[in-house]
Structure 1
Amino acid sequence: MQPHCTIDARRYRAVLFDLDGVITDTMRFHYEAFHKAFERLGLDVKSLDIYTHEGMPSMKLGRALVEEYGASVSDEELKKTVDEKRELYRQMAEGNIRAYPGVPETLAMLRENGVKLALVTGSNRRSVTKVVEEAGLTGMFDAIVTGEDTERGKPFPDPYLKGMDKLGADKAYSVVVENAPMGIKAAKAAGVDYVIAVTTTLPEQYFKDADDIMPSFADLGDCLAKRIEASSGG
């Protein structure tokens, strides 16, 4: 698959990124933690289950999984299982968090060009702070929205509306970068003008509603650099 790279990069003044699977290579830890924790409930959770629901707060994702598998699980038992998942994720990710190639350079380039940056994720603030710090990206984002900051998470528009509000950004001049269908739906529902999907966890067929598709963050970074240079007459 070739990157499409159709974005008019100079038009946009804000870029809002999902975290896991976009900025950091951490979705595999989330899947492995969900799989192991939910085995206790007798559920054999598949990677596709997690990747297609990614972006939802963990409790809501857990409830969706339970319902899809037709299991009967109380709220108390589900909370216990999700808490176990979070602890497993913490153990798996500890010391193993890495930003995707090209992330630091691309964020720096966008900031140098006056573009405001936000991180919009369904993860809790404690986890997000740890991931950003370990990935070496502290201070790179002008705003961070976590699963604790809105009543409704992705696929509802609230997280991206909150992110644009924090940035003081106009949706007509904003871009979202996502790797999950739930996130694409949230961005579109928020009226974001341009939505880019990166196929780090799911193939292109899952992103029919995206305006552009890239196979990796490195390809996205190269595209933005070329488009910004071209539009500035470089």
Structure 2
Amino acid sequence: MGDIQGVIFDLDGVIVDTAVHHFQAWQRLADQLGFSFTEKDNERLKGVSRMDSLNILLEIGGISKTEQEKLELAAQKNSEYVEAISQMTENEILPGIKAFLAELKEAGIPIAIGSASKNTPIILERIGLKDAFDTVVDGNVINKAKPDPEVFLTGARRLNIDPSHCVVFEDAQSGIEAAKNAGMYAVAVGDAAVLSGADDYVSSLEEVTLDRLKKVI
């Protein structure tokens, strides 16, 4: 890919771990609907939009709902989730993130958030990173969910960088596929046994430095 000209981060599971808040909100909804929803089931929802997640949840429970009922259930889940994330603090920023962001800033490399979450602005504000990124592309401005590359291509366009010179950090299979569909270098934050198709793998951002990244690329 040549030189690194921009870096795009997924939010959930990369910058902060909101997965537990999502899982608990979906689990409460499943309980209410009369079936159990496990952590294994929850893996299918990672990186997936809210309505698509709800459809997967209903499929797991073997439950059929009208479009209006689905909208109401999704709004209920989101309300519970927003209540949980509104209590977040900067202590919930994952290890290694602040140091790596500072290193990228110092090197003059533009950075972006590329997330399906419509709650991205709330989370960034609560953890004190609202102004840390050059642009934020989230579920409020895109129409197509990952693995469609729209979120990352929009990020590259806003940063004014060719996609082939962008590095993406992702923790979800759909996100890795979206990054590759965008023609970008994909770094998976997770296990190669679970996440396939990435160009590089790290267990956390604590392992990542700009120097290491340049070497592997």
Q: Normalising to structure 2: TM-score of the pair? A: 0.90
Residues 116 and 146, structure 2, Cα contact 8 Å, conserved in 1: yes
Instruction: Give how far 1:68 is off.
Output: 4.3
User: Residue deviations 1:154-210, cap 9 Å, x none?
Assistant: 111111111111111111111000000011111111111x100112xxx43122201
Query: CA RMSD, aligned part only?
Result: 2.0
Match of 2:121 among 106, 126, 129: 129
Deviation beyond 3 Å, 4+ runs, structure 1: 225-228
* Amino acid in structure 2 at the alignment position of 1:75: E
User: Structure 2 vs 1, CA of residues 80 and 141 (structure 1 numbering), >3 Å: closer, same or farther?
Assistant: same
CA distance in 1, matches of 2:204, 2:139: 25
Equivalent residue number for residue 105 of structure 1: 99
CA distance in 1, matches of 2:34, 2:69: 13
Equivalent residue number for residue 56 of structure 2: 64
Residues 104 and 137, structure 1, Cα contact 8 Å, conserved in 2: no
User: Structure 2 vs 1, CA of residues 227 and 92 (structure 1 numbering), >3 Å: closer, same or farther?
Assistant: closer
Equivalent residue number for residue 208 of structure 1: 196
User: Residue deviations 1:40-65, cap 9 Å, x none?
Assistant: 22232222333333222201221133
User: Structure 2 vs 1, CA of residues 166 and 216 (structure 1 numbering), >3 Å: closer, same or farther?
Assistant: same
Where 1:161 maps in the other structure, the secondary structure is helix
The question of 1:185 aligning with 2:177 is answered: yes
Equivalent residue number for residue 90 of structure 1: 82
The question of 1:197 aligning with 2:191 is answered: no
Aligned length: 214
CA distance in 2, matches of 1:210, 1:226: 16
Match of 1:224 among 191, 210, 213: 210
Residues 108 and 140, structure 1, Cα contact 8 Å, conserved in 2: no
Of stretches 83-92 and 59-68 in structure 1, the one that deviates more from structure 2 is: 59-68
> Which structure ranks higher in relative contact order (CA pairs < 8 Å, sequence separation ≥ 6)?
1
Where 2:68 maps in the other structure, the secondary structure is helix
Of stretches 37-46 and 183-192 in structure 1, the one that deviates more from structure 2 is: 37-46
Of stretches 94-103 and 166-175 in structure 1, the one that deviates more from structure 2 is: 94-103
Equivalent residue number for residue 163 of structure 1: 155
Where 1:205 maps in the other structure, the secondary structure is coil
Residues 103 and 210, structure 2, Cα contact 8 Å, conserved in 1: no
Residues 187 and 198, structure 2, Cα contact 8 Å, conserved in 1: yes
Runs of 5+ consecutive residues of structure 2 not aligned to the other structure:
none
CA distance in 2, matches of 1:145, 1:64: 24
Of stretches 44-53 and 183-192 in structure 1, the one that deviates more from structure 2 is: 44-53
CA distance in 1, matches of 2:52, 2:176: 18
Equivalent residue number for residue 165 of structure 2: 173
Residues 53 and 180, structure 1, Cα contact 8 Å, conserved in 2: no
CA distance in 2, matches of 1:63, 1:54: 13
Instruction: Give how far 1:27 is off.
Output: 1.2
Residues 53 and 181, structure 1, Cα contact 8 Å, conserved in 2: no
